[in-house]
């Protein structure tokens, strides 16, 4: 009986099941502690209701073979038959070598009922379970608000290190209207298609420092849109009133893409417009021109702010946004963690105990040498011609 009580009191982690959603949808926003920098507690409650409504369809979707994109994975932490938290992770690139921690959520009310110490205890258990369960991942990335001290402490404790600092900017509707009065200087502005994936991959590679590029590990297929992506964009346009415009600037002499943006337009005006902007480091003069081009595209739609992000390795973009009097909303920290430590090392060899057979196993002698009858050196005082004459 004592063994059963000990087992039930331990904190266990397992995949999300449908029966868990009956309990999770009753969570209150004021009881939740989250590590996501963009998702509020109220939005998490709405997300749980969405999972409850479409759980069966999302589960069937995961049965489809590749190359259909697989959805995020959700794991829950349970103690004394009560769910105290969950984690959501998803592949970051198409090869699934890098995964992203999207959110870690802990219900403080449930945790106190089960005598769980803190947000860090539940979060650490969830993170370490993902490190072991997702065997494909070589790197993990996440983004956390610099003001969220509890989330920063959780991720640092579990081995995450800063990779870059991001600033989220907002261009007001009035500023967009002023920028749209100027004509941009953008020669060879072309729409993006799957045939341009090689050019976009080269542009993305040049725009990132080597360390960030190695962690992201993006390939050409990450810049291609498959049939599922096309269907999702169509569904967003019809249901969510979101329209996407993707263009890039082609440099004729070098036959390369030197700038591109993916603009998501809210046609109903209920949410801000968003843009993903990339410019080659050698063509930073494109920043104001591309922003003016986006401002002209947004003119027929309801006035809303435009949100975009810049990293600390893009000083020209931050300087351009500051000169345009854009508003910095908040700062986040991009963090990463490698899982190469999961590969077990072979027997450790020190330099003192290192033998030649350990270094060059192919040069070991097959057997003992057999002495021959021929002498290799002549007798002292006699030269080689004298020996030949003697014979």
- Confidence class for position 354, pLDDT limits 50, 70, 90: very low
Cα separation, 167 vs 332, whole angstroms = 6
Among 89-93, 294-298, 381-385, whose mean pLDDT is lowest? 381-385
The H or E element that residue 141 is part of is strand 139-145
pLDDT at 289: 95
What is the DSSP-derived secondary structure letter of residue 107? E
Residues 205 and 135 grouped into a single domain = no
Q: Which residues pair with 335 in a beta bridge?
A: 142, 162
- State the chain's mean pLDDT as an integer: 81
73 belongs to a structural domain = yes
Q: Residue 197: pLDDT above 60? A: yes
The pTM score is: 0.78
pLDDT, mean of residues 212-218: 94
Residue 345 belongs to some domain of the structure: no
Q: Are residues 148 and 18 in the same domain?
A: yes
Q: Which of 154-158, 241-245, 376-380 has the lowest mean pLDDT?
A: 376-380
Average pLDDT over residues 228-235: 72
pLDDT at 367 over 70: no
Taking the CA atoms of 315, 321, 322 and 328 in sequence, report the sign of the dihedral they define.
negative
Q: Please check whether residue 295 is in contact with residue 262, taking contact to mean a CB–CB distance below 8 angstroms.
A: no
Q: Is the pLDDT of residue 312 over 60?
A: yes
Residue 103 pLDDT exceeds 80: yes
* Residues 237, 199 share a domain: yes
100, 130, 159: which is the final residue of a domain?
159
The answer to whether residues 206 and 153 belong to one domain is: no
Task: Calculate helix-pair angle for 286-297, 315-323, nearest 10 degrees.
Answer: 50
* CATH (domain of 232): 3.40.630.30
For 285-288, the CB contacts below 8 A with 24+ separation are 286/186, 286/249, 286/258, 286/259, 287/316, 287/317, 287/320, 288/320, 288/324
Residues 146, 179, single domain; the answer is no
Does 219 fall in a domain? Answer: yes
Inform me whether the pLDDT recorded for 161 exceeds 80. Answer: yes
Predicted pLDDT of residue 22: 79
Tokens 């300087």 -> residue: 319
The answer to the question of residue 184 being in a domain is: yes
Contact between 90 and 73 under an 8 Å Cβ cutoff? The reply is: yes
Residue 86: Cβ-neighbour burial (10 angstroms; 0-12, 13-18, 19+)? buried
- Same domain as 233, residue 100: no
Half-sphere exposure of 85 (CA within 13 A, CB side): 30
The answer as to whether 357 is a domain residue is no
315 and 263 in one domain? Answer: yes
- 155 and 33 in one domain? yes
Lowest mean pLDDT of 31-35, 272-276, 292-296, name the range.
Answer: 31-35
pLDDT on residue 234: 76
Could you list the residue range(s) of the whole structural domain that residue 282 is in?
A: 167-331
* Banded model confidence at residue 80, pLDDT cuts 50, 70, 90: confident
End of a domain among 133, 159, 185?
A: 159
Q: What is the pLDDT of residue 357?
A: 52
Where residue 290 falls among pLDDT bands split at 50, 70, 90?
very high
What pLDDT score was predicted for residue 387?
Answer: 44
Q: Which of 203, 379, 146, 169 has the alpha carbon at shortest distance from 294?
A: 169
DSSP β-bridge partners for residue 75 = 15, 87
In 3D, which of 33, 74, 79, 83 has the Cα closest to residue 51? 74
> What DSSP letter does each residue of 43-78 carry, written as one string?
HHHHHHHHHHHHHHHHHHHTTSPTTSPP--EEEEEE
pLDDT at 263 exceeding the cut of 90: yes
Per-residue pLDDT, 345: 38
Of 331, 348, 375, the domain-final residue: 331
Provide mean pLDDT across the span 123-135: 93
Residue 355 is assigned to a structural domain of this protein: no
Q: What would the mean pLDDT of 38-55 be, rounded to a whole number?
A: 64
Q: How far apart are CA 111 and CA 76, in angstroms?
A: 13
At residue 77, φ and ψ (nearest 5 deg) are -100, 130
Cis peptide before 67 (omega within 30 of 0): yes
70 with 144, same domain?
A: yes
- Does residue 13 carry a pLDDT above 80? yes
Residue 380 half-sphere exposure toward CB, CA atoms < 13 A: 0
Which tokens is 300 given?
């027929």
Confidence (pLDDT) at 120: 86
Is residue 198 pLDDT above 80, yes or no? Answer: yes
Q: Above 80 in pLDDT, residue 56? A: no
Cβ burial of 390 (10 Å; 0-12, 13-18, 19+) is exposed
Query: Do 47 and 91 reside in the same domain of the chain?
Result: yes
Phi/psi of residue 143, nearest 5 degrees: -135, 130
Overall number of domains in the chain: 2
353, pLDDT greater than 80? no
Q: Would residue 383 count as lying in a domain?
A: no
Domain membership of residue 265 (yes or no) is: yes
* CA angle (25, 26, 27) in 5-degree steps: 95
Q: Both 42 and 11 in a single domain? A: yes
**Percentage of the residues of the chain whose pLDDT score is greater than 70:** 74
pLDDT score recorded for residue 346: 38
Residue 51: pLDDT above 60?
yes
CA-CA distances (angstroms) from residue 307 to 146, 276, 286, 287, 302? 19, 9, 18, 15, 15
Q: What is the pLDDT of residue 166?
A: 95
154 pLDDT more than 60: yes
State the pLDDT at residue 35: 76
Q: Are residues 176 and 155 in the same domain?
A: no
Q: Where are the alpha helices (DSSP H) in the chain?
A: 2-9, 18-24, 41-61, 108-113, 119-133, 149-157, 173-179, 197-207, 210-216, 227-239, 286-297, 315-323, 356-359, 384-390
What is the pLDDT confidence band of residue 368, given thresholds at 50, 70 and 90? Answer: low
């Amino acid at each position: 009986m004592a063994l059963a009580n000990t087992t039930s009191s331990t904190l266990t982690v397992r995949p999300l099941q449908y029966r868990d959603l009956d309990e999770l949808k009753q969570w209150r926003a004021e009881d939740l502690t989250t590590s996501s920098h963009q998702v509020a507690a109220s939005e998490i409650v709405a997300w749980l209701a969405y999972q409850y409504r479409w759980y069966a369809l999302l589960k069937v979707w995961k049965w489809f073979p590749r190359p259909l994109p697989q959805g995020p994975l959700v794991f829950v932490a349970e103690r004394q038959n009560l769910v105290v938290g969950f984690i959501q992770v998803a592949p970051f690139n198409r090869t699934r070598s890098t995964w992203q921690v999207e959110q870690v959520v802990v219900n403080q009310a449930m945790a106190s009922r089960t005598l769980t110490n803190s947000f860090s205890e539940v979060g650490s258990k969830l993170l370490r379970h993902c490190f072991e369960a997702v065997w494909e991942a070589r790197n993990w990335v996440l983004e956390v608000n610099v003001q969220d001290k509890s989330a920063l402490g959780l991720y640092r404790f579990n081995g995450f290190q800063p990779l870059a600092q991001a600033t989220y900017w907002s261009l007001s509707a009035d500023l967009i209207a002023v920028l749209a009065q100027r004509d941009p200087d953008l020669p060879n502005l072309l729409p993006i298609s799957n045939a341009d994936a090689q050019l976009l991959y080269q542009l993305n590679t040049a725009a990132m420092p080597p360390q960030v590029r190695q962690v992201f590990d993006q390939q050409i297929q990450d810049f291609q849109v498959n049939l599922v992506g096309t269907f999702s964009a169509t569904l967003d346009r019809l249901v969510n009133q979101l329209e996407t415009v993707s263009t890039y600037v082609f440099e004729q002499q070098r036959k390369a893409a030197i700038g591109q943006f993916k603009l998501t337009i809210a046609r109903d005006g209920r949410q801000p417009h968003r843009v993903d902007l990339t410019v080659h480091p050698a063509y930073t003069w494109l920043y104001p021109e591309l922003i003016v081009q986006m401002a002209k595209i947004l003119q027929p739609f309801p006035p809303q702010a435009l949100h975009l992000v810049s990293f600390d390795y893009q000083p020209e973009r931050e300087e351009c946004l500051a000169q345009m009097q854009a508003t910095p909303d908040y700062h986040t920290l991009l963090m990463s963690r490698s899982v190469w430590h999961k590969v077990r090392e072979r027997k450790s060899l020190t330099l003192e105990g290192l033998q030649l057979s350990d270094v060059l196993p192919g040069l070991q002698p097959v057997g003992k040498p057999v002495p021959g009858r021929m002498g290799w050196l002549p007798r002292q005082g006699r030269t080689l011609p004298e020996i030949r004459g003697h014979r």
